[in-house]
Every structure is written in C-alpha cells, then in structure tokens.
Amino acid sequence: MGNADYAKILDDISEFIDGDISVLDEDREKVSRDASLFYIKPEIVVYPKHKDDISKLLAYVSGEKDKKIDLSIAMRAAGTCMTGGSLCKSIVVDATRYMNKVVSVDEISARVEPGVYYRDFEKETLKKGWIMPSYPASRELSAMGGIVSNNSGGEKTLVYGKTEKYVKSLDIIFANGEKDTIRPLNIYELQVKMKEATESGRIHKEVYNLITENIDEIETARPSVSKNSSGYLLWNVLNKETREFDMTKLIVGSQGTLACVSEATITGVKPKSHSRMLVMFLPTTKKLGEIIPRMLLHNPETFESYDDHTFKIALKFFKDIAKRMGGTAFNLAFQFIPEFWMLITGGVPKLILMAEFTGDSEEEVETKIKNAYEDLKSFNYPLKRAHSEKDSQKYWTFRRESFNLLRSKLKGYRTAPTIDDIIVHPKDLPEFLPRLDKIFAKYDKDLVYTIAGHMGDANFHIIPLIDIHKDGIIEVLHNLMDEVFGLVFEYKGSMSAEHNDGLLRTAYLPKMFSPEMIRIFEKTKNIFDPKGILNPMKKVGYDKSIAWKFVDKK
C-alpha cells in the first residue's frame, strides 16, 4: 500500500466537501485524544455539513484505495470513548460542528444526527415527556454518535436495556459511499432487499448467508451475561422465531468499523416521577450472591455500588464533595450523622449498595422501599432508607465524585482505562470479588484504584490511576489486563459490558471468543469494508503490541 500524498488529497476533497477541512495542528491535536490512554494524530480533519459530504468522501477514499493509496476514515463525535475508538492516523470526520441537530421529535421517537450531545437531545425529548434510558455515565459530555457506536448503557440499563433496544432505524453510508436506511425487515422485505443490485442489497445478502450458515457457532458465542459490547453482535441480527432481520443490531456497537451513521431514529420511555433509595452497607461480600437476587425481586430501577476505597476517598475529600453539592462540610456532615455513627461502631463497609425505587406517586415508591427494607433486614447488615430524593443524592455524589476528586488531587497520576468495564454473573460475585482483590493486591505499589459498579448486572467500572512515566508501568497494565480478563472469562463474563473494544481490547477478543468466531468477525468486517477504509485497528486484525505504541505519555 502506497503512502498518501495529503497535500494532493486536501486539494482533491476541497473540490466536493461543503463543510470544513483542516490540516491545522491545533485542530488535528483536538481529535488526537479521547478518554483513553492513546494518542493518534490524524493528517486531516473533516467537519461535514451533511451526509452527502461523508458519502462523497468515502467514495473518494474508496477510489484511492483502488490505486493502492493508504487512506482510512474514522467518524468522531464527542470523543469520550475510553478505548481509543475514534482515533485514526489518516482522516477523522468530526460530526459535532455541523451534524449536531435533533432533526425532529414526536411523542416517543426522535431523529437525531451523530454530533448531538446527549444532554441537548434529552432536553428536547423531555419536552415530549420521554427519555432514552440507556444514557452512559458521561451523559453530560457524550454525543449520540458515540452512544450508538458503542451500544452504550448506564445506571438504568438494569430495567430498560442498552442502546440497541432504542434504535428504530439508522441512516448509514457504506464504505464505498452508498447511502441507505436500515431497519428491521420481515422475511419478505429481506428477500426483496437481497435482490437489489446495490451495495446494500449485496451486504444484506452476504450477512444473512453468513449468519444462517454459522448460526450454531454464533449462538454458542452469545455472551450469557446481561450486557456485552465486545465483538460484533451477530447473534442479535436474525430473530429465529419471527424471522425478522435487523441489521441495526449489528451496526450498533460496531464502533464505526462497518458503516458511518449519519442519522438515527431513537425511541425511549416515559420516566417515573418519584424516586427514593435504599442503601445497604456490607462489611463482607460473602452474602452478596444471596442479597442481589433478593433485592432484584423488588424491582429497583437502578442497583449501583461503590467500594471501601471510594468511601475512604470521599471521606478524605469531604470538603470538596460538599462544595460539589453546593453546601458546606458542616451541612453535609449533618446529613451523614447516621453513617458516621456506623463507621465509629462498625468500621468502613466493604461495599455500599444503592437500590433506587421509582413510581408514579410517592405512595407507590414508599410501598416498594418499605417492602424491600423489611425483606433485606434479615441479613443483619446496616440499612438506610433515604427520606427524599435530595437525601438519595448525597450517595450518588459520593459515587460519582470520589474518583474525579482523587484524579484531580493526585498530581502526576493519570487515568488508565484498561479493566474499566468487566461483567460477570451476579451469582458468582461471592467467589469472583475476593479473587479480584487478590489480583489487585499484587499491584498496590503501582496503581491506585476504586471500584464502582452496576450491581444488578455485576458490571464493574475499575479505572486505575498510574504514573505513566514509571518504569515498567505498561507491562504492569498488560499483566493486570491478562489476569483480570482471564478471571472474567473463567466465569463466562465479558471484558466490556458497555465501553466496547477499540484499540484497547480488540487484541483480547481471541481469548473471549473461539477461533471460528473470530474468523466470522473478520468475514463480517470484510463484507462491509473489503478495502479496510473504516476505522482500522478496532474489532479485527491486530495484536496488542501495535495499540500500545500509541500510548500518550504527555
């Protein structure tokens, strides 16, 4: 593959792009990082005004690839990915400048462009009385393109499911520049589609054949945990009972490696008007396997957790957390008098569980939380019922702000998302968590960490803080990932419930899936993108030594 002449490419694409094109160092720098460990500086940044810009750019790059010119394209939205998902050394297409509109909103669906920030999207849907409940923790920073591309989930996923459930259709652009709208098709519609003399017709036919010819292998590979964003989600495309064929299920979560999304039609749910929290303080995780199913019997809308590390950090930075809550340390301390008494008499709990119950009236919520309290008190662990939504908020603040404060206070340390999204089965937690603790005990001198998680799904977000300049730290991270992922796979879990693979985890896919399933993933990529144009180095085709060459040490 020949080297690209980017001066010529800049001249060429300037002829047909209506949006902006930049080779300025400051613009290239802005898209060279995301929330991951990695740094890749592209040669050109394109800010498309509309889907035709993307279509023409892809058609051009496809033609250049025929001439053996080494070009590639990565779509980018808000850049909050923790795996290097939008980083590309060639051309980055940034949708946030112009393709950032909520096109339309009705009573329960909306059409949205990829560059729209979720926070702005939700403002519009709330005017109609609904939300998309699969928003991630980075809801104030993330954009809809990334949410769709990663198949995001978050605190409400326990009840409402992930983003794939809320995508009704996608306007996409294939690697050759051809545009199409994909949506669920019944068997008759699929037969018509597969006969089309178009790129879309070919791809539908080849994906259908790939799935039906390998249906047993694909079904066997389906992760048994409640959430997964690793690999290509082929097991979700063909419904064997209804024979419905829904290729949105494959594009969602594919990190822009199969097609570019130019618009999405999203649906959602009407949120409950009242909520309150039940908090449980566990001195040990021994009974966790009994507590989780018991709590879930009462149908909490969210069931979250944080560990003793997080709690200690929150206490250490108590004044700072009070400021984040808009009060004083004295006022916040007054709110936490029962918890402080518990610390004095029983010590720091190993795990804090937060179950939030919602309803359409205060009476409904009170009944739910009372029943759960009466049921759970038989475990003889400290239980606290929040008296109001404001009372619940202090626990959310502890969970959300402790790590951010730790990161800001430890000078010379930076976040190292690596094992940030593991998931196992809740029933396995009493065995799994002590073994996880033993792994971390080996690395106490090299990193600082906290554990927070979606307890109802047994999905944990563990983000170490490291000194990136310390000798041997990259090897430490490699060893940590090897050990933790090995443990996760032993318990039939996934290395990514929500955050996806990207540069970070793609090389570990052969440890999670069979060799035959990896070949099926490669065939999937080749069906959509035979020339290797779309977002290379993610999902298929490289080893971990390549990705770690891009570690950002600044």
* Structural domain contains residue 530: no
Indicate the residue type of 81.
C
In a shared domain, residues 38 and 166:
no
Q: Would you call 158 helix, strand, or coil by DSSP?
A: helix
In a shared domain, residues 33 and 115:
no
As a whole number, the mean pLDDT across the chain is 92
* Structural domain contains residue 178: yes
pLDDT for 450 equals 81
In a shared domain, residues 307 and 416:
yes
Are 416 and 37 within 8 A, CB to CB?
Answer: yes
Beta bridge partners of 9: none
Domain count for the chain: 3
CA 50 to the chain's CA centroid? 26
Q: How far is 20 from 50, CA to CA, in rounded Å?
A: 11
In a shared domain, residues 405 and 377:
yes
pLDDT at 247 over 90: yes
Higher model confidence: residue 398 or residue 287? 287
Q: How far is 527 from 193, CA to CA, in rounded Å?
A: 16
Q: Which helix (H) or strand (E) holds 307?
A: strand 302-307
CATH of the domain at 222: 3.30.465.10
pLDDT for 324 equals 65
pLDDT for 425 equals 95
Segment 132-147 shows an average pLDDT of: 94
pLDDT for 394 equals 74
Q: Would you call 225 helix, strand, or coil by DSSP?
A: coil
Beta bridge partners of 76: 94
pLDDT at 404 over 80: no
In a shared domain, residues 280 and 176:
no
pLDDT digits (tens, 9 = 90+) for 283-301: 988 899 899 999 999 999 9
Helix and strand counts by DSSP (H, E) for the chain = 23, 18
Q: How far is 84 from 539, CA to CA, in rounded Å?
A: 12
- 105's tokens: 């909103």
pLDDT for 310 equals 77
pLDDT at 337 over 60: no
Q: Would you call 172 helix, strand, or coil by DSSP?
A: strand
pLDDT at 39 over 60: yes
Residue 1's pLDDT band (cuts 50, 70, 90): low
List Cα–Cα distances, 492 to 424, 427, 458, in angstroms: 7, 12, 12
In a shared domain, residues 141 and 244:
yes
Are 432 and 492 within 8 A, CB to CB?
Answer: no
Beta bridge partners of 179: 173
pLDDT digits (tens, 9 = 90+) for 458-469: 999 998 989 999
Are 151 and 167 within 8 A, CB to CB?
Answer: no
pLDDT digits (tens, 9 = 90+) for 517-532: 999 999 999 999 999 9
Least-confidence region, from 317-321, 488-492, 511-515: 317-321
* Structural domain contains residue 85: yes
Are 420 and 451 within 8 A, CB to CB?
Answer: no
Q: Where does a domain end: 248, 267, 286?
A: 267
For 367-411, the DSSP string reads HHHHHHHHHHGGG-S-EEE-SSHHHHHHHHHHHHHHHHHHHHHST
pLDDT for 515 equals 97
pLDDT at 474 over 90: yes
In a shared domain, residues 131 and 261:
yes
Q: How far apart are the first and last CA of the chain?
A: 31
pLDDT at 222 over 90: yes
CA-based nearest residue to 240, from 221, 266, 218: 218
pLDDT for 390 equals 75
pLDDT for 339 equals 62
Q: How far is 537 from 548, CA to CA, in rounded Å?
A: 12
Q: Work out the number of other CB atoms within 10 angstroms of the CB of residue 1.
A: 10
Q: How far is 117 from 7, CA to CA, in rounded Å?
A: 33
Segment 305-325 shows an average pLDDT of: 75
Residue 30's pLDDT band (cuts 50, 70, 90): very high
Q: How far is 229 from 81, CA to CA, in rounded Å?
A: 13
CATH of the domain at 72: 3.30.43.10
pLDDT for 349 equals 87
pLDDT for 8 equals 95
pLDDT for 322 equals 67
Segment 433-446 shows an average pLDDT of: 91
pLDDT digits (tens, 9 = 90+) for 356-397: 999 999 999 999 999 999 999 999 999 999 887 777 777 777
Residue 157's pLDDT band (cuts 50, 70, 90): very high
Segment 431-435 shows an average pLDDT of: 92
In a shared domain, residues 330 and 228:
no
pLDDT at 451 over 90: no
In a shared domain, residues 317 and 280:
yes
Indicate the residue type of 383.
L
Domain that holds residue 31: 6-97
Percent of the chain residues past pLDDT 70, beyond the cut: 92
In a shared domain, residues 291 and 435:
yes
Are 219 and 516 within 8 A, CB to CB?
Answer: no
Q: How many residues does the chain have?
A: 554
Q: Which residue has the tokens 């999207």?
A: 121
In a shared domain, residues 300 and 204:
no
pLDDT digits (tens, 9 = 90+) for 48-99: 999 999 999 999 999 999 999 999 999 999 999 999 999 999 999 999 999 9
In a shared domain, residues 240 and 292:
no
